[in-house]
Amino acid sequence: MSSKITFHKDIGVIEATYEGNINIDSLKESITQNLEKAAQLGTFLFLTDCRKVTGSTTTFDLFELNSLLEYTSKIKGLREAIVLPANKEIAETLLFYETFCRNRGFDTRSFINREDALNWLISK
């Protein structure tokens, strides 16, 4: 998996663009790095672009994120908008991830296009 992080200073959004296969270890590392970057920048609005993801971790593996997500749910103002890939199987895993996060108090939503995701993210 490769990722690129961009900070959109004008709207206070951190955009993480992912490409390739996602595995649980790289996902945990990426989440940790993104949270550190957010703390440095003083913003916790995340736009997660997964349109170029070609393979994903299993839904079972996502339970390894439990302790990390419990921590993130306590951060005031933290929101994540996920842009789904066209691949149905990968999109379904990401939709499960959305539900998994929301059940732990994490304000996250999934979208088909980037514009809708960004509009939701900055709407509150």
- Sort 41 into a burial class: Cβ within 10 Å, 0-12 / 13-18 / 19+: middle
Low pLDDT (below 50) residues in the chain: none
Determine the pLDDT at residue 72. Answer: 67
Stated pTM of the model: 0.89
State residue 55's pLDDT score.
87
**pLDDT the model gives residue 61:** 79
Q: Tell me the CA end-to-end span of the chain in Å, nearest whole number.
A: 31
Residue among 43, 56, 46 at smallest CA distance from 5: 46
| pLDDT score, position 42 | 92
Q: Domains along the chain?
A: 2-122 (3.30.750.24)
